[in-house]
Amino acid sequence: MQPAAAILIVDDHDGFRIFARGMLEAAGFTVAEAATGAEATEAARTVRPGLVLLDIQLPDTDGFEVARRLAAAPAGDPAPVVVLTSTREARDYGGRIAASPAAGFLPKDQLSGAALRRFLARDQS
Amino acid sequence: MSRRLLAVAGAAAAVGCFVWSSWPPPSRYAPIEVSFAVVGLSYMVAGIAAWQRWPSSRLGLLFSIVGYLYLVPYILVNLANPVAFTIGVLSEGLYDAALAHLGLAWPTGRLRSRFECGVVIAEYAQLVAFSVAGTMFWNPAFSGCNARCPANVLLIGDGSRSAWNTLNTIEAYVGLVISGIVLTLIVLHWRSARGWSRRAMVPVLWIAPAVAAETVLTGSLFNFSALVRYALLPLVLLAGPALFVISTVRARTAGGALGTAIVDLEPGASPTRLREALARALGDSTLQLAFRQPDGAGYLDTSGQAVEVVRPDPGRAVVPVAGSDEAVLVYDEGLQVEPQLVKLTAAAASMALEHARLQAEVQAQLEQVRASRARIVEAGDAERRRLERDLHDGAQQRLVTLSLALGMARDRAAGADPELGSLIESASKEAKEALTELRELARGIHPAVLTETGLAGAIQALAERSPVATTITAVPDGRFPAAIEATAYFVVCEALANVAKHARAGGAQVTIQSRPGRLVVEVSDDGAGGARAERGSGLRGLADRVASVGGVLRIDSPPGCGTRLEADIPCP
């Protein structure tokens, strides 16, 4: 089994972060948290997560913008896998998800360690 | 006794005397007698009628004077009395001066200058002077009237035919000169008149020369037979009363034309158009419609010219429109002889202005209602967006967290207590279903996809969810104002829902095109047709919704031929 990647959860909803952290830590991941877009870019720089679980709706900006910023990280620094998430469904965002540099979208209620691992595996393959 | 009765009694007495004095006429004089009676009576009737119509004008009096001066001498010479006979002979022809007076005083009844007064006095004076001088030398026998005629009491001796003839000739030339002066003055009156007065002068331009020619032709310079001289030529004088008839008809016509002009005036016509219509109907091209300036800077007419209202220019008169001094009509002074017409014009103008004001008020109210309807719909949309967002941020978020928590609990319980695990599993399923239902509810309240991506994404999502196969032929990619996007979205949403519910269609097609200044949304299907806005409250509501942004919803749905729904939405 490969070493568990660090996961950065970006969500302004405390309850979600707490339960997601519990679930993902139980699944063997190291977890960091950020509540805003600004915190997310800062944490991505310091924590160097392998995957960012990024809520689309943030208080200061939106997930699409944060995904763009993360994708534009300096060369040589492996950009993290970004998975957008929302309580809404993917189709509520039309083509915006496909147009963003994020690796994909995961509805919040379908969050699980296994689902994130699939994204990571897809990224490595 | 009223003036009218007095005038009628006078005319009746004159005619009575005329008939009594000349009855029974010798048959060869009959045409002359009839001609005299007709001409004299016509002036008397015109006098009475003019007196009625223009009580403050002297025209009625002048017409009457002509009538009496025409008829009375004829009565007097027919009386078997030397004094009456002589007075009759003396006053014959005096009506010429009254005619000149009438022509110069037309159309107001007033002479315009001292010079003109002098001309009229000179005309009366020369006629009297030559009459007296001529009569002193005139022996009735010169005119073939021997024993039948009463004596000429002014006759000196047996008279002198040559002196009488000479005096007659001089009188004729003097008369010619004065007629020329009078006609010239009348032409000058016409040239200097404007508006109503100028048009009132037009018939005088034709009638005055005819009357002048009659007086010259019946004078001593020409030798016509008695029938032509005393019966036929005098009929030309009927043109005088005709002048009164013409002016009356003209005023009546103008009154009628005013009504028609106001009725024909398009709703909300500008004051300029109103002035033109009134001026045309009235026959006064100089008519001005002036409005008081809000800053108290006097009045401006419809062409922006300042208008003096308190002391109008010479020849102009002012009447307020509708009793207020907000608007006034400034018209040719000549019209003052027709106070009814002036009143009618002011009333017509007032009505039209009031109509225009009400029209503008209704238009403004309608505009307000339109704007408030648009605001209400926009506020509704905003409220729905807020509700959807609140659901998303609140209940949906909590259900998601709950669902995650239940998932974790289930995983932990699964090994230790399978029964508890399956209990939590079913609770988790419930939570997931609640979340799904809540999402549908939120989407129904307001589609997040519309806010997030605009029309293209939202219509795509609608087409995907529609149970009937739906093709999108065109949707513009750009963003539009929220109210326009929401309206277009709800049109497609409701139309596709109707297709699914009622149309029994095999497929539907959505086309949204952005054209200059508008967005055209079209949804068609190949179903049963027969949809009508009046029937389904859904379509009625949709039509209202489209109208709220100033658009139009058209439904073309012949039974059996599918339904085509088109919303034409103005879009800045």
B281 shares its domain with B225: no
Burial (0-12, 13-18, 19+ Cβ within 10 Å), B228: middle
Query: For residue B458, what are its two tokens?
Result: 């939202």
Query: Chain B residues within 8 A (CB-CB) of chain A?
Result: 392-393, 396-401, 403-405, 407-408, 411, 432, 435, 439, 443, 447-449, 452-453, 456-458, 460-461, 464
What distance in Å separates the CA atoms of residue A20 and residue B264, rounded to the nearest whole number?
79
Rg over CA atoms, chain B? 47
What does the pLDDT read at residue B150? Answer: 85
Query: A96 and B464: CB-CB below 8 Å?
Result: no
Domain-located, residue A79: yes
DSSP B501: I
Please indicate, yes or no, if residue A15 is contained in any of the structural domains.
yes
Regarding whether B174 and B274 lie in a shared domain, the answer is no
Q: Cβ(B500)–Cβ(B527) under 8 Å?
A: no
Q: Is residue A96 part of a domain?
A: yes
Nearest to A93 among B399, B449, B464 (CB): B449
pLDDT by residue (tens digit) across A66-87? 999 888 866 456 778 899 999 8
Q: Does A108 touch chain B (CB under 8 A)?
A: yes
Question: Is residue B245 domain-shared with residue B303, that is, in the same domain?
Answer: no
Q: Within this chain, do residues B49 and B180 fall inside the same structural domain, yes or no?
A: yes
Distance from C-alpha of B41 to C-alpha of B241, rounded to nearest angstrom: 10
Nearest chain B Cα distance for residue A70, angstroms: 21
Q: Is residue B549 part of a domain?
A: yes
Q: Based on the domain organization, do B135 and B68 belong to the same domain?
A: yes
Nearest-neighbour CA in chain B from A103: distance (Å)? 19
DSSP string, B133-163: HHHHH--GGGGT-SSSSPP-TT--TT--HHH
State the residue range of the domain holding A38: 6-124
Task: List chain A residues with CB under 8 Å of B447.
Answer: 92
What one-character-per-residue DSSP string does B96-111 give? HHHHHHHHHHTTTTS-
Least-confidence region, from A53-62, A89-98, B65-74, B101-110: A89-98
Whether residue B306 sits in one domain with residue B186:
no
Q: Which residues of chain B have pLDDT under 70?
A: 1, 23-28, 146-147, 323, 533-537
Chain B within 8 Å of A88 (Cβ-Cβ)? yes
| Cβ–Cβ gap A87/B392 under 8 Å | yes
3-state secondary structure of B555: strand
Q: With contact defined as beta carbons under 8 Å apart, do B509 and B471 qualify?
A: yes
Give the integer Cα–Cα distance in Å for A78 and B382.
42
Q: Judge if B272 and B244 occupy the same domain.
A: no
Cβ count within 10 A of residue B285: 14
Partner-chain contact A16 B405, CB within 8 Å: no
**Tokens 């008519």 found at:** B287
Alpha carbons B186 and B209: distance in angstroms, whole number:
10
**Nearest-angstrom CA–CA distance, B327 and B320:** 6
Question: So what's the pLDDT on residue B95?
Answer: 92
Nearest CA in chain A to B457: A94
Residue at a domain's end among B346, B366, B386? B366
Q: Do both B115 and B190 map to the same domain?
A: yes
Cβ neighbours for B313, distance < 8 A, ≥ 6 positions apart: none
- Across A1-125, the runs of DSSP E, i.e. the strands, are 6-10, 30-34, 51-55, 81-86, 104-107
Domain identity same for B217 and B286 = no
User: Across the interface, do A94 and B408 touch by the CB < 8 Å criterion?
Assistant: no
**Is A20 part of the contact surface with chain B (CB cutoff 8 Å)?**
yes
Q: Which domain holds residue B206?
A: 3-250
- Specify which residues B569 forms β-bridges with: B519
- Same domain for B499 and B543, yes or no, is yes
- Confirm whether B347 is domain-assigned: yes
- Residue B155 within a domain: yes
Q: Is residue A111 part of a domain?
A: yes
A53 pLDDT tier (thresholds 50, 70, 90): very high
Tokens of B349: 């103008």
Number of domain units in chain A: 1
In a domain, A70, yes or no: yes
- Please, which residues 22-51 of chain A have a Cβ atom closer than 8 Å to chain B? 22-23, 26
Is position A1 within any domain? Answer: no
Handedness of CA B238, B244, B245, B247 (dihedral sign): positive
User: Is residue A31 included in any domain, yes or no?
Assistant: yes
A26 occurs within a structural domain: yes
Q: Are residues B59 and B177 in the same domain?
A: yes
Is the residue at B406 inside a domain? no
What pLDDT is stored for residue A1 in this prediction?
43
Residue B340: name the closest of B362, B364, B313, B319 by CA.
Answer: B319
> With pLDDT > 90 as the criterion, what percentage of chain A qualifies?
33
Give the 3-state secondary structure of B275-313: HHHHHHHHCCCCCEEEEECCCCCCEEECCCCEECCCCCC
Which residue from A minimizes the CA distance to B392? Answer: A87
The distance of B365 to chain A (nearest Cα, Å) reads 41
pTM above 0.80, yes or no: no
CA dist., res. A63 & res. A65, Å (int) = 5
Nearest to B452 among A19, A22, A93 (CB): A93
Single out the residue in B345, B366, B387 at which a domain terminates.
B366
Report if residue B407 sits inside a domain: no
Structure token digits, residue B310: 């308190």
Assign residue B49 the CATH number of its domain.
Answer: 1.20.1070
Q: From residue B464, give the alpha-carbon distance in Å to each of B113, B470, B502.
A: 96, 8, 19
**Amino acid, res. B433:** E
- β-partners of residue B223 are none
How many domains, chain B? 3
DSSP β-bridge partners for residue B552: B568
Q: What is the pLDDT of residue A77?
A: 65
How do B518-525 and B563-570 pair as beta strands? antiparallel
* Same domain? B231 vs B115: yes
CATH code of the domain covering residue A99: 3.40.50.2300
